[in-house]
């Protein structure tokens, strides 16, 4: 992870674990750790930390914490053992989250359609707190070159990958404590963390595989030239041996034959080694998990279909200023084209009859 992310992680993880953290300026932080935490992490209870090498040079009493530092590993381990990661809260004002009935209806009409129904009517709205996740994976690619990188997966609380939301979320001012204006707002329950992690890992593995292809592509030129050189060398060697064999007398023919076979075997072995050296392996390991908690507006509408008044709830996300599409009543996937079947809204995904 980039150093600024390490800083965010370390400071937040220390606070979440019960440390008192005080910023002394740019990339310089004092932390007072409870004794059990300090001994669990194997560090002193009083820490002065920096995440910047220049700041470290000016403050020789500060510990420079970078990628791979034992403190980062110990904090990751601690965070893992808590099975939750840590939480950040969006410090939004209630006004930013409000949405009038007209705007709510126009967003709904733009993103969801209802079959055999009259235009929806706005009923009510309620504020909730919902969690999204930022899950970091460390990926090691091993080939002729060795590369390490981070893959960060943004995901909602039900495991849907938020492809566009990441940069937008990263820009928000997040705080470590629940802002007072949201203290009485009810929480929505996320899916179990193990399930979310498993989904994030599948996504990260997919990303890593395509990255591995890209890394191999850049090594490919070097591979081709090494292989061509090797092939040319053995071609010449074998040709020379063949010429000698043609001119050799009986006494030398066996020796030359042996050398020819050995050169052939040598060539095959070295070409196989070269292939192996340029094969890309990758290994994905989980690094951190951050819950990003922010308000949502639960919008309730009524849709009239034939003679029935049917309810539909949709969540509005003030951070992205978008509606989260409702979920199909059968498979649970986001659905934008809904039909009422018996007692639920079903998406086009699960409708056999068109």
d(CA 75, CA 85): 10
CA angle in degrees (0–180, nearest 5) for 138-141-145: 135
Least distance in Å: CB of 338 to Zn ion? Answer: 10
Which one among 330, 334, 336, 337 touches Zn ion, defined by CB under 5 A?
Answer: 330
Least distance in Å: CB of 335 to Zn ion? Answer: 6
Which one among 4, 347, 353, 354 touches Zn ion, defined by CB under 5 A?
Answer: 347
Spell out the residues 6+ positions from residue 192 whose beta carbon is closer than 8 angstroms to its own.
none
The answer to the question of residue 160 lying near Zn ion (CB under 5 A) is no
**What six digits make up the tokens of 341?**
């079947």
Which one among 162, 290, 328, 338 touches Zn ion, defined by CB under 5 A?
Answer: 328
Q: What is 242-300 written as a DSSP string?
A: HHHHHH--HHHHHHHHHHHHHHHHHHHHHHHHHHHHT--EEEEEEEEEEEEEEEEEEEE
The answer to the question of residue 165 lying near Zn ion (CB under 5 A) is no
Q: Helical H runs in 112-192?
A: 165-171
Q: Which residue has the tokens 């510990």?
A: 63
The answer to the question of residue 350 lying near Zn ion (CB under 5 A) is yes
Which one among 129, 193, 256, 349 touches Zn ion, defined by CB under 5 A?
Answer: 349
Tell me how many residues contact Zn ion (CB under 5 A). 6
The answer to the question of residue 331 lying near Zn ion (CB under 5 A) is yes
Interface mask toward Zn ion for 279-318; x: CB under 5 A: ----------------------------------------
Q: Which residue has the tokens 């929480």?
A: 187
d(CA 94, CA 188): 18
User: Nearer Cβ to Zn ion, position 181 or 330?
Assistant: 330
The answer to the question of residue 159 lying near Zn ion (CB under 5 A) is no
Residues of the shown chain interacting with Zn ion in the complex, contacts defined by CB under 5 A = 328, 330-331, 347, 349-350
């Amino acid at each position: 992870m980039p150093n600024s992310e390490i800083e965010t992680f370390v400071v937040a993880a220390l606070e979440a674990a019960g440390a008192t953290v005080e910023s002394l300026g740019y990339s310089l932080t004092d932390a007072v750790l409870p004794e059990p935490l300090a001994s669990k992490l194997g560090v002193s209870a009083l820490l002065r930390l920096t995440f910047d090498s220049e700041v470290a040079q000016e403050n020789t009493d500060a510990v420079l914490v970078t990628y791979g530092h034992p403190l980062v590993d110990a904090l990751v381990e601690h965070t893992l053992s808590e099975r939750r990661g840590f939480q950040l809260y969006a410090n939004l004002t209630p006004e930013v989250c409000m949405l009038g009935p007209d705007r709510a209806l126009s967003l709904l009409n733009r993103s969801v359609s209802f079959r055999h129904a009259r235009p929806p009517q706005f009923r009510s709205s309620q504020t909730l707190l919902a969690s999204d996740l930022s899950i970091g994976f460390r990926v090691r690619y091993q080939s002729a070159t060795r590369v390490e990188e981070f893959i960060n997966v943004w995901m909602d609380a039900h495991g849907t990958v938020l492809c566009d939301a990441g940069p937008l979320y990263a820009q928000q001012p997040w705080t470590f404590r629940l802002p007072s204006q949201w203290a009485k707002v009810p929480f929505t329950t996320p899916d179990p963390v193990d399930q979310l992690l498993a989904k994030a890992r599948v996504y990260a593995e997919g990303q890593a595989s395509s990255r591995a292809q890209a890394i191999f592509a850049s090594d490919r030129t070097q591979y081709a030239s090494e292989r061509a050189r090797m092939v040319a060398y053995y071609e010449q060697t074998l040709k020379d041996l063949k010429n000698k064999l043609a001119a050799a007398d009986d006494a030398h023919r066996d020796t030359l034959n042996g050398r020819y076979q050995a050169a052939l075997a040598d060539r095959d072995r070295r070409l196989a080694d070269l292939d192996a050296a340029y094969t890309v392996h990758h290994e994905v390991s989980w690094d951190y998990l951050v819950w990003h908690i922010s308000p949502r507006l639960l919008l309730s509408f009524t849709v009239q279909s034939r003679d029935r008044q049917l309810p539909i709830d949709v969540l509005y996300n003030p951070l992205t200023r978008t509606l989260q599409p409702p979920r199909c009543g059968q498979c649970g996937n986001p659905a934008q084209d809904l039909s009422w079947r018996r007692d639920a809204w079903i998406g086009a995904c699960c409708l056999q009859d068109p």
